[in-house]
Structure 1
């Protein structure tokens, strides 16, 4: 039996026949961040203090009831988990109803966009084990985005773009769990960078949530630099505060 290190990956453009595998990979890749986000939030010192206070209140209100103390503490933990799940689930559902609803039309038919999959040969069968997408954007879109976030980020803080003010955004970079630690995420990112060079983009931007520590580390190793951070997760703002999830925008000059 071959070891995972023996597998060779090939990266190619998305085909409509990949849709079922891509959708499954995408959904699992997004929702798998829920538990790390929950664990990070529940172990935050502030949340630990709140949990202890709520548990103590349950203990007192229940007439020295350990069961009620545990119940109150569990309800607080459940609320944190719900907030973490809603953030990632809302993002997933939003993308499934927009760009992911028709990958061919939204990526392959637009010259400035691209969508690629990574394949591995498993027992003689080609299996999709990774994916990455790139969307070409105008500088004005980014300026408007930061104005809406009201984070005080001036567009002059970013690198100078090409004469048309265009740049590229990378998203949907997912590697199947069993295929990680094989440098596949870096290969997919380099594929996106090569595409950006061909299209004349001067920088590549990616948004990552704070619990995505492995992806953040990979991007840093490839030369991406954090340029901004905000808490706009496109879910209820209160949920983001409870879950303590921030979104980091990183970019790499090309």
Structure 2
């Protein structure tokens, strides 16, 4: 587990892991939104409206409820997909330039043996000055290597890196459905200091999907 001087042949693996890691939050966010009491009530009401408007049609009831669920799913997908595309067109478009050519930035990669081949199984970046501190971003761990402290190891690497360079605060922004990541950072000493609904998409997408951005900080 080392800071990486970006290797061209690993770029495809890193970007693929990044894409998968961001988009995998869509389904959990959707199910979390749909299980909300308000959404359950709305789904039932909309299905009943379809039933009545369709002349006691169960098909209409199902169709109206399905359309409502589809709208919520689309909102969840748009939030994560737009974030992913924005990053792929900015800092992740040139990792070496964005992270490694600046001595105050960093990008870490964890590799493991997979069927006799070395594969990228975890990534993390340190980026963006922020009010006298710095932010970490893009922590992704491949599914088979989760619950094995790999995410914590990558985070500790970033903490050590920032401390060595004299930064006093480290921050991270996560979406509210990322409950496991939020819990991990809290165990590492991060404290939630803010929460907002600005997901850089239409504000109604965030409201309908019931997704907030959770801001955590740690004094280092």
Q: TM-score, normalised by structure 1?
A: 0.84
Q: Is the 8 A contact 1:29 1:174 kept in 2?
A: yes
Runs of 4+ in 1 over 4 A off after TM superposition: none
What aligned pairs does 1:101-180 form with structure 2 within 5 A after superposition? 101-139=93-131, 166-180=132-146
Q: Note the residue ranges of structure 1 that are not aligned, 5 or more in a row.
A: 1-9, 140-165
Q: Select the residue among 56, 75, 78 that pairs with 1:83.
A: 75
| CA distance in 2 between partners of 1:95 and 1:136 (Å) | 13
Q: Is the 8 A contact 1:11 1:188 kept in 2?
A: no
Q: TM-score, normalised by structure 2?
A: 0.97
Tell whether 2:138 aligns with 1:195. no
| CA distance in 1 between partners of 2:188 and 2:44 (Å) | 42
Kindly state the Cα deviation for residue 198 of structure 1 after the two structures are TM-superposed: 1.2
Q: Is the 8 A contact 2:192 2:214 kept in 1?
A: yes
Aligned to 1:232: 198
Q: Is the 8 A contact 1:16 1:104 kept in 2?
A: no
Query: What RMSD over aligned residues (CA atoms) do the two structures have, in Å?
Result: 1.0
Kindly state the Cα deviation for residue 138 of structure 1 after the two structures are TM-superposed: 4.3
Kindly state the Cα deviation for residue 17 of structure 1 after the two structures are TM-superposed: 2.4
Aligned to 1:146: none
Kindly state the Cα deviation for residue 136 of structure 1 after the two structures are TM-superposed: 4.2
Q: Deviations over 1:124-156 (max 9, x none)?
A: 3211100000014042xxxxxxxxxxxxxxxxx
| CA distance in 2 between partners of 1:89 and 1:221 (Å) | 28
Kindly state the Cα deviation for residue 51 of structure 1 after the two structures are TM-superposed: 0.6
Aligned residue pairs, count:
219
| CA distance in 2 between partners of 1:136 and 1:16 (Å) | 23
Q: Deviations over 1:194-229 (max 9, x none)?
A: 110111100110000000011001001110000100
User: Counterpart of 1:63 in 2: which secondary structure?
Assistant: coil
| CA distance in 2 between partners of 1:191 and 1:70 (Å) | 50
| CA distance in 2 between partners of 1:50 and 1:170 (Å) | 38
Q: Is the 8 A contact 2:191 2:217 kept in 1?
A: yes
Kindly state the Cα deviation for residue 16 of structure 1 after the two structures are TM-superposed: 2.7
Q: Select the residue among 210, 218, 222 that pairs with 2:176.
A: 210
| CA distance in 1 between partners of 2:169 and 2:153 (Å) | 18
